[in-house]
Amino acid sequence: MTGKTHLGIGVMFTIILSEYFKLSLTTGALVACALASLLPDIDHPKSFINQYILPFKNKLTKTTFYITLGVVIYLINTFYFDYTYFKLLSFFSILIGLSTHRNGLTHSLFGFICFVSLFGYASLQYGFRECILPFSIGYIMHLVADMFTNKGIPIMYPFKKKSLKCLLPLKWVLGLVI
Ligand SMILES: [Zn+2]
């Protein structure tokens, strides 16, 4: 599934659910939603976000970049700040470097909880709490959309590595035909 499709699904659901949750759709909230709907594919070297970050769009560059970034964040944090927030960020960056596309942290419920918690914490600290829900909707809709593809996603990673794919539409069609 392309970045544009994920972006469209994430933004569309945020707009629909904004009525229900009484969300104020500020520019910041929509940007947070757009970012979150693209974020899980950061484990792919040619994904939308990595197109702008990586100098070379291959697996080796992606692995090297995110592991180095994680180590640099960890070291700077250890010497200058000592924030738990940055420790977690460095750990996630290393995990992203080590995972292959749709095989690790970013495409799991655990990843969803981690990234939403990190983003939520930063939002509360810096006063943009209205972005938390759009961010969560964008992220979870990416996972839901990927679940409907052939490859599925490792939703229970790191507890179970088996991919889960949802063939619900097929079941509905079969249910209607039979
Ligand atoms: Zn994905």
What pLDDT, in 10s, does the model give residues 55-100? Answer: 999 999 999 999 999 999 999 999 999 888 899 999 999 999 998 8
Please tell me the distance between residue 39's alpha carbon and the centre of ligand 1 in angstroms.
8
Please tell me the distance between residue 167's alpha carbon and the centre of ligand 1 in angstroms.
17
> pTM for this one?
0.86
DSSP secondary structure code for residue 156 in this structure:
T
Please tell me the distance between residue 152's alpha carbon and the centre of ligand 1 in angstroms.
9
Give the pLDDT confidence score for residue 152 in this predicted structure.
87
What pLDDT, in 10s, does the model give residues 124-173? Answer: 988 888 999 999 999 999 999 999 888 889 988 888 888 888 765 555 55
Please tell me the distance between residue 72's alpha carbon and the centre of ligand 1 in angstroms.
26
H helical segments located in 39-157: 48-53, 59-76, 84-98, 109-126, 132-147
Nearest to 29 by CA among 41, 16, 43, 18: 18
Pairwise CA distance, residues 128 & 14, whole Å: 16
Distances 21 to 12, 122, 148 between C-alpha atoms, Å: 14, 21, 26
Which residues are near ligand 1, the ion (C-beta closer than 5 Å)?
40-41, 146
